[in-house]
Amino acid sequence: MKTAYLFDIDGTLTPPTKFMEEDFIYFFLEWSENKDFFLVGGGSYNFLISQLPCSVMKRAQGVFSSMGNELRVNDSLIYSHEWKPSVALLSSLLAWHSKSPYPAKKKKYLESRVGMLTFSIAGRESSHREREDYFNWDTLHRERESVACDLSEKFPKLDIRLGGMISLDIQPKGRNKSQALRWVRELNKYNNLFYFGDKGFKGGNDYDAKLNIKKHKDGKFYDVKDCTHTKKILESLP
């Protein structure tokens, strides 16, 4: 029995919307030799492979994309959980986008992924600078929290979580990143599960994974600020 390491990609291995940094790649490849690790992301599989080099992707024991609703092992698709959002949900999201006072919102505010929907008032096509602008504005006005609270009351069978700098991740209850932990646990190969995530706060899209670890008491959740913080933690582990 050994330890499995699960890494949320955005904010843990990469800066938001950016490619994995070169110095960190060399460190991570050296660290991960003879270790089992899994990659977990809220984005689609195609987006994840745009962030990480092939050397890291191929070394992973598995890649969970779209909030864990899709899993690939050695490039082979293991499962894919489909879901179609209701008309009522889509209407509510349109209403929130229309009435938002954010001054620089864009038209493309929805992105459908396997088993989930991503909603962003700022706009899915926002540049990194525009994402930072919205993030700073939202930190002050807490718009995403208001949207999540409203949708959670209207649609109690859905999980609505803050993701990235500008978005909300929406999926059926239980179809969140904790799916990755459940699947890895069922392999019966590991006695410890270490999960690294930057959104382990209540309402963040790593929060369900944090609760899952706490419930099963078979590992540890590491609240990470960025890849530099991840490196520091990994260097301190035995």
Encode the chain (238 residues) as per-residue pLDDT tens digits: 799 999 999 889 987 667 888 899 999 999 999 999 999 999 999 999 988 999 999 999 999 999 999 999 998 999 999 999 999 999 999 999 999 999 999 999 999 999 999 999 999 999 989 999 999 999 999 999 999 999 999 999 999 999 989 999 999 999 999 999 999 999 999 999 999 999 999 999 999 999 999 999 999 999 999 999 999 999 999 8
Provide the pLDDT for residue 223: 97
The answer, as to whether pTM is greater than 0.85, is: yes
Bridge partner list, 197:
223
Residue for token pair 């229309």 = 98
Question: How many Å is the Cα radius of gyration of the chain?
Answer: 17
Distance, in Å, from the CA atom of 67 to the CA atom of 107, rounded to the nearest integer, reads 24
Q: By C-alpha distance, which of 163, 99, 165, 156 is closest to 127?
A: 165
Q: Are 70 and 38 in contact (CB under 8 A)?
A: no
- Residue environment code for 159-177, b if the CB has 16+ CB neighbours within 10 A, otherwise e: bbbbbbbbbbbbbbeebbb
Distance, in Å, from the CA atom of 101 to the CA atom of 12, rounded to the nearest integer, reads 31
